Structure 1
């Protein structure tokens, strides 16, 4: 069973995956915001293309961008008072210097184990060429280089494989690593105690660097009380479903108020008023203009997720997508487990809620640490190595 499982190729994980929509490296933040809202995706691939070749353009995926990156960039001290000009900045400024390691090109015949190794080395997304559904005539038209939202590069369409895809694939063959799956996360030693956390009453802008770091490592920022008990979280997944106006709330509210602002029921009117008042007090007129230019109701038609459900429409009118609220819990409500929870139980919990991590707490709700897909994959990879 294990030998057969180890023989799977990356292409097996690509079945049914949509073609990547892309942004050129020369795009601006304004372009990225528009593309994200049109695409319905929480992130878009960024491509660098060399047009010097006579036959066709040579392209490489060099990173990805989401609303999290844009919001954190807007909240930098040097950008708060020049919002309009910031939106004309190239998206290359938002890409980490090591962003090329965040995405990695792999061949369809690469093995599942190779894919896991790449992810344990830091790759979040594996870019894989897939069979193109574009006609030959269209390929010739697009050969000179990608346009906004283009899915064709180097004569191919691509998809990307995430840690969630790999973990879901592994779950379908759980008997291949059954001895490990039944052990507790405490016994396996995969509880990471080096967590990102911020006190409930601390200003939310103090967490900007932590949020950016959590996005890079696919974790989250915990909100804790004075006793270290977990109250909620500010999650990159949550922010990715918001629009750019949330930057104003992040620049003015406490961490606890920011959670309430982004909850699935939408920001209370008093918090919206508080944000505007504090923007005026801080003389942050450009950020205030941003809220006025894109009112919270404006994202209904451009949201990444649409639904006829009354509750979800209410969410959209408050300036955020309903994709994350599909969990049917408060957006800021953290998913938790206990040190004695088994690996398979935590794995299923994370997959069910479409997150890459689960917080670990004690019986008194004290935050112990966090378990991530990376930690789970490391244990599973070691198990496979022992079988080789």
Structure 2
């Protein structure tokens, strides 16, 4: 039964997960940027540790206080003062990248129940930090000073438990949640039609900056619509995370539509790169232009997309229901469903495309809402409550 499933220990979901790579909260933005590039990690955990009685002592008190990724760096550098003095901005402590307000990461013991994990996520926790259990987990180890190469804190290693992990786990046991799982999402009231991060195609990309930061916290994206309100694409934090810090200049100078083209094919189109450079010069952001020139000269690949037009595609997603079309589409094309799609179909869609949300559109393509992992988890939690 679903009730017994929610009683399972979270350690069941952590099998085989890699240890977290980390940074000290005293590290600089430059050090975080360097570590993200060097390690090839999507996220680095940020730790605050008290070694007042010596590294490795029983008094060590290490707490994960947040996480950082390339999108955090990009959004930070987009600020006017940081575009003017990027090298100075990079010397700031990494704590400037951590969102203000309630923490989005939290600690949980391996023997905690899945229900406890779901409740924490519904309260606003984005990632749960779980100690990794191994046969050697009780052995005393020397605790290294937290760095990008450190995986050990409080004499043990930790891993992330994410919303995606829990949704995937629940999908494997989806039969326990029938008939709820096969009901339409509009019947389940899981569609959020109020808090939709959206801008228009011709709007300056810079107007999306607060929405990009917000979507990163809520693990969503920024929808791009035309004048009729039809969904034509998105600015995805997931896609931005595969770029580097120079993308801040593109956000600061391009339109939303041009930014979609800039991030579409894995490498910015040459004509848009040149346009960004010209606009940086016009706004007297010479220091950032130098940083951009240096980054491109150091890049391992000097190839660009040939055009910012519709000539550049990558295999993947379809804007049609289900998102499984084999046709070639732009990377910025959003994953969509319809109000009458079943909850389980939307779950499969999101997991297949490694996103934590699916846009909801009407039959004519008009954007009407968004379904998130948080909304799905609430449905499953309510299902369990109704049985208890």
Same fold per TM (> 0.5)? yes
1:95 aligned to 2:98?
Answer: yes
Which residue does 2:254 correspond to in 1? 253
Which residue does 2:86 correspond to in 1? 83
| Residue pair 1:243, 1:299 contacting (<8 A) in 2 also | no
Q: Which of 123, 127, 131 is the equivalent residue of 1:121?
A: 123
Alignment of 1:140-159 (within 5 A): 140=142, 143=143, 145-159=145-159
Residue 27 of structure 1: how far off its partner (Å): 0.8
Count of aligned residue pairs for this structure pair? 367
SS in 2 for 1:185: coil
Distance 1:355 1:117 in 2: 21
Residue 99 of structure 1: how far off its partner (Å): 5.3
Distance 2:132 2:225 in 1: 44
1:218 aligned to 2:219?
Answer: yes
Distance 2:165 2:298 in 1: 34
Which residue does 2:65 correspond to in 1? 62
Q: Structure 1 stretches of 5 or more lacking a match?
A: 302-312, 316-323
Residue 11 of structure 1: how far off its partner (Å): 0.3
Change over 3 Å in CA distance of 1:162–1:89 after alignment to 2: same
SS in 2 for 1:187: coil
| Residue pair 2:137, 2:156 contacting (<8 A) in 1 also | no
Which residue does 1:208 correspond to in 2? 209
| Residue pair 2:205, 2:252 contacting (<8 A) in 1 also | yes
SS in 2 for 1:78: helix
Deviation larger for 259-268 or 172-181:
259-268
Which residue does 2:309 correspond to in 1? none
Q: Normalising by structure 2, what TM-score?
A: 0.90
Distance 1:211 1:244 in 2: 15
Residue 51 of structure 1: how far off its partner (Å): 1.1
| Residue pair 2:270, 2:304 contacting (<8 A) in 1 also | no
SS in 2 for 1:45: strand
Which residue does 1:112 correspond to in 2? 114
| Residue pair 1:24, 1:146 contacting (<8 A) in 2 also | yes
SS in 2 for 1:359: strand
Change over 3 Å in CA distance of 1:138–1:38 after alignment to 2: farther
Q: Normalising by structure 1, what TM-score?
A: 0.90
Q: Structure 2 stretches of 5 or more lacking a match?
A: 306-313, 318-327
Residue 29 of structure 1: how far off its partner (Å): 0.9
**What do the CA deviations read for 1:305-340 (whole angstroms, capped 9, x no partner)?**
xxxxxxxx978xxxxxxxx98767522110000000
Distance 2:137 2:212 in 1: 42
Distance 1:113 1:356 in 2: 19
| Residue pair 2:224, 2:256 contacting (<8 A) in 1 also | yes
Distance 1:299 1:48 in 2: 34
Spell out structure 1 runs of 4+ moving beyond 3 A. 132-138, 324-329
Which residue does 1:197 correspond to in 2? 198
Residue 299 of structure 1: how far off its partner (Å): 5.3
Residue 4 of structure 1: how far off its partner (Å): 3.2
Distance 2:44 2:207 in 1: 27
**What do the CA deviations read for 1:180-219 (whole angstroms, capped 9, x no partner)?**
1000111101111120111111110111111101111111
| Residue pair 1:197, 1:222 contacting (<8 A) in 2 also | yes
Change over 3 Å in CA distance of 1:296–1:374 after alignment to 2: farther
SS in 2 for 1:118: helix
Change over 3 Å in CA distance of 1:155–1:5 after alignment to 2: same
**What do the CA deviations read for 1:223-279 (whole angstroms, capped 9, x no partner)?**
111111111101111111111111111111000000000002532211111111111
Which residue does 1:295 correspond to in 2? 296
SS in 2 for 1:332: coil
Residue 7 of structure 1: how far off its partner (Å): 2.4
| Residue pair 1:204, 1:250 contacting (<8 A) in 2 also | yes
